[in-house]
């Protein structure tokens, strides 16, 4: 089926089925493919939700909800081993999904939701419409944010200063400092998502609806970043690839300024240092689950251009050891190094100290995994969440190093969020 019919199918599915998803390939890149998957669950199909606050994984089937464990990774592993050989699970892991790492429990949607659908439809998209944006098409809102960042809020400035103290004390090399925004909208999640995909097409775009009492969650994603792709090799073993993003500049208003921004991103020592630190972190993460000598960096600091930003992207690959499962590999990498900083554990402790609100689904991973060992997930950035109450939440931020300036970092966080907030307006058309 074509990509245009995916929108119609999505509208119908979301209206009829409380538990459904769309992994949306409409904003695909060459490296991410052009496939969309729309799926839904029948009443007797299984979904899982996880609360980090109670340390409970709940299994939902029909009208029954039963606590089945205290670790969502472990429960997913069991479900994959005991289910059918063709089973696929679709969902997200929020930032607090690993109980052995420091993170505030989510304040709105569950810390994780996973679904095993009975029905999945495949759609192919025409890429000729995508990724052809002219700099002149930048929104007035984005241009204004770029030019006039405004006053930095005291709470952000205080958190920034505390991060700098840790950096200068040698406790971390880089800290990904983020914060949350909440905004009301009269639009329903389907309407918001369709606006978001028009405003900010991305390779890891997608929609998840889990309209279940006590575990309600909607996730609306327009993420450009790959968390992990696990593929089957011809010999039956598996390889893993991650594409960390670290370093971002806004698109210019015209071709000349746009190219200047692109060159700035490619050459600025601060951006390159940020990216290299995360590449080293991910090389270390992959080395824990991959065969010795197989971890490589085929692409280092390439510039990718999106609707509103240029991003500095690297690629890290390795071959999984035979004793490492897909879920085990995903857990070892979690959360994405680009969303923590380096070293990971100590930096997560700093984040836990300086950030005043829970990240929730933000900074986690969203996608699918299969019983045959394959998986494909994006990092949850440029995304909205809601429990269906009309309030939408988003996270935004960026990597902080000793060279960072507070006003610049806050301005960057604002224009990263601009398309998300625009998508919530019923007046402003994409």
139 burial class (0-12, 13-18, 19+ CB within 10 angstroms)?
middle
Told to judge if 186 belongs to the known catalytic residues of this protein, a careful annotator would answer: no
337 lies in some domain: yes
Q: Give pLDDT tens digits for 327-354.
A: 999 999 999 999 999 999 999 999 999 9
* DSSP string for 71-134: -HHHHHHHHHHHS-TT-EEEEEE-TT--TTS--PPPSSS-SEEEEE-SEEEEEE--GGGSS---
Residues in the chain, total: 430
Told to judge if 225 belongs to the known catalytic residues of this protein, a careful annotator would answer: yes
Q: Give pLDDT tens digits for 106-155.
A: 999 999 999 999 999 988 877 554 444 555 444 444 444 444 456 899 99
Report the distance separating Cα 376 and Cα 241, nearest Å: 9
Neighbour tally for 58: CB within 10 Å: 21
Q: Which of 79, 174, 225, 412 is catalytic?
A: 225
306 lies in some domain: yes
List the CATH number of the domain containing 157. Answer: 3.60.120.10
Strand residue runs (E) in 170-235: 174-184, 204-210, 217-223, 226-232
Three-state DSSP state, 112:
strand
Question: How does strand 217-223 pair with strand 204-210?
Answer: antiparallel
Q: Six-digit token pair at 299?
A: 């692409």
429 lies in some domain: no
pLDDT tens over the chain, length 430 residues: 555 688 999 999 999 999 999 999 887 777 677 889 999 999 999 999 999 999 999 999 999 999 999 999 999 999 999 988 789 999 999 999 999 999 999 999 999 999 999 999 988 877 554 444 555 444 444 444 444 456 899 999 999 999 999 999 999 999 999 999 999 999 999 999 999 999 999 999 999 999 999 999 999 999 999 999 999 999 989 999 999 998 888 889 899 999 999 999 999 998 898 899 999 999 999 999 999 999 999 999 999 998 888 999 999 999 999 999 999 999 999 999 999 999 999 999 999 999 999 999 999 999 999 999 999 999 999 999 999 999 999 999 999 999 999 999 999 999 899 999 999 987 655 4
* CA-based nearest residue to 14, from 194, 262, 226: 194
Q: How far is CA 219 from CA 133, 285, 381, in A?
A: 26, 27, 11
Report the distance separating Cα 110 and Cα 19, nearest Å: 14
Which DSSP helix (H) or strand (E) runs through 36?
strand 35-40
* CA-based nearest residue to 1, from 22, 17, 20, 30: 22
Q: Which of 79, 174, 243, 246 is catalytic?
A: 246
Question: How does strand 174-184 pair with strand 119-124?
Answer: unpaired
What phi and psi values does residue 296 have, to the nearest 5 degrees? Answer: -130, 165
430 lies in some domain: no
Q: How many domains does the chain have?
A: 1
Which residue range forms the structural domain that includes residue 189? 3-423
428 lies in some domain: no
């Amino acid at each position: 089926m074509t990509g245009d019919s995916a929108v119609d199918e999505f509208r119908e599915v979301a209206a009829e089925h409380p538990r459904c998803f769309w992994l949306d390939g409409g904003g695909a890149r060459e490296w991410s493919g052009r496939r969309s998957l729309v799926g839904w669950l029948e009443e007797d199909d299984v979904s899982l939700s996880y609360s980090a606050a109670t340390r409970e994984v709940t299994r939902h089937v029909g009208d029954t909800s039963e606590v089945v464990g205290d670790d969502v990774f472990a429960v997913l592993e069991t479900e994959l081993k005991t289910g059918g050989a063709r089973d696929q699970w679709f969902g997200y892991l929020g930032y607090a999904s690993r109980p052995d790492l420091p993170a505030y429990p989510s304040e709105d949607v569950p810390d994780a939701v996973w679904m095993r659908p009975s029905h999945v439809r495949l759609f192919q998209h025409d890429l000729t419409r995508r990724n052809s944006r002219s700099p002149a098409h930048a929104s007035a809102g984005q241009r204004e944010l770029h030019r006039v960042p405004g006053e930095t809020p005291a709470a952000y400035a205080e958190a920034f200063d505390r991060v700098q103290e840790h950096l200068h004390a040698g406790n971390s090399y880089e800290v990904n400092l983020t914060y949350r925004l909440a905004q009301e909208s009269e639009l329903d999640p389907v309407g918001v998502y369709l606006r978001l995909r028009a405003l900010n097409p991305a390779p890891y775009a997608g929609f998840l609806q889990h309209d279940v009492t006590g575990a309600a969650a909607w996730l609306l994603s327009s993420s450009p970043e790959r968390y992990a792709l696990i593929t089957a090799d011809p010999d039956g073993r598996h390889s893993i690839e991650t594409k960390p993003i670290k370093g971002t500049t806004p698109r210019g208003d015209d071709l000349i300024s746009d190219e200047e921004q692109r060159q700035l991103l490619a050459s600025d020592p601060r951006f390159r240092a940020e990216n290299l630190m995360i590449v080293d972190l991910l090389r270390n993460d992959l080395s824990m689950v991959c065969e010795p000598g197989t971890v490589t960096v085929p692409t280092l600091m390439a510039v990718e251009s999106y609707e509103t930003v240029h991003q500095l992207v690297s690629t890290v690959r390795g071959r999984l050891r035979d004793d490492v499962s897909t879920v085990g590999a995903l857990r070892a990498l979690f959360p994405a190094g680009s969303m923590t900083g380096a070293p990971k554990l100590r930096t997560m402790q700093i984040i836990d100290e300086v950030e005043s609100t829970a990240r929730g689904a933000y900074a986690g991973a969203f996608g699918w995994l299969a019983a045959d060992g394959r998986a494909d997930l994006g990092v949850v950035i440029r995304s909205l969440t809601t429990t269906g109450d009309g309030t939408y939440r988003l996270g935004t931020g960026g990597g902080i190093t000793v060279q960072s300036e507070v006003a610049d970092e806050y301005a960057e966080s604002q224009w990263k969020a601009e398309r998300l907030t625009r998508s919530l307006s019923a007046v402003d058309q994409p």
